[in-house]
A = this chain, B = another copy of it.
C-alpha cells in the first residue's frame, strides 16, 4: 500500500451514479444547487449534503472537476479532456474552449522554476455573444 496515495475504496450508490450521469449529460457547468434540484425529482429525499459529499468523492476519483469562476459558489464539470474556459462576466456563463495552448507548458515551466507543476488552468473573462446583443 502506498501511504501517500492510497486509493480509498468506495461503495457504489445510485445517488452518485446518477449525479455523475447528470454532470456528463450537460455542458452547462452546473452548481451544486442546480444538480440537487435536478436529482431531487429522482430522489425526493435527496439532501444537499449528499450532493456535496458525492461531488467531493467524484473529484477525488478524478471524474469531476471544480471550476472557480469568480462567483461566490462553485461550478462543476465532468469533462475530462483538457480544455480552457470562456467565462462571461455579465451572466456567469461558462463556455468550453477546445483550442488549448501550450499542451507542454507544465513541463516547460517546471524545468525553469523551482516548482513542480502538475496542472494548469487558463480562463478567459469577457462578454458572451448573448450578453453583447442584449447590451
Residues on A facing B (Cβ under 8 Å)? 66, 68, 70, 86, 88-89, 95, 97, 99, 101-102, 105-106, 109-110, 112-129, 132
- Residues of chain B lying within 8 A (CB to CB) of residue A118: 89, 125-127
Complex Cα distance, B123 from A115, in Å, reads 13
Complex Cα distance, B127 from A4, in Å, reads 14
Q: Would you mind naming 11 contact pairs between A and B with Cβ atoms under 8 Å apart?
A: A86-B115, A86-B117, A88-B115, A97-B109, A101-B105, A106-B126, A109-B124, A116-B132, A118-B125, A119-B126, A121-B123
If over half of A's interface residues share one DSSP class (helix, strand or loop), that class is named, otherwise mixed; here it is: strand
Beta-carbon contact of A124 and B106 below 8 Å: yes
- Counted per complex, copies of this chain come to 2
**Additional A-B contacts beyond A99-B112, A118-B126 (10; CB < 8 A):** A97-B113, A101-B101, A106-B124, A109-B124, A110-B126, A115-B126, A116-B126, A117-B125, A117-B126, A120-B122
A29 to chain B, nearest CB (A): 15
A98 to chain B, nearest CB (A): 10
Complex Cα distance, B70 from A95, in Å, reads 19
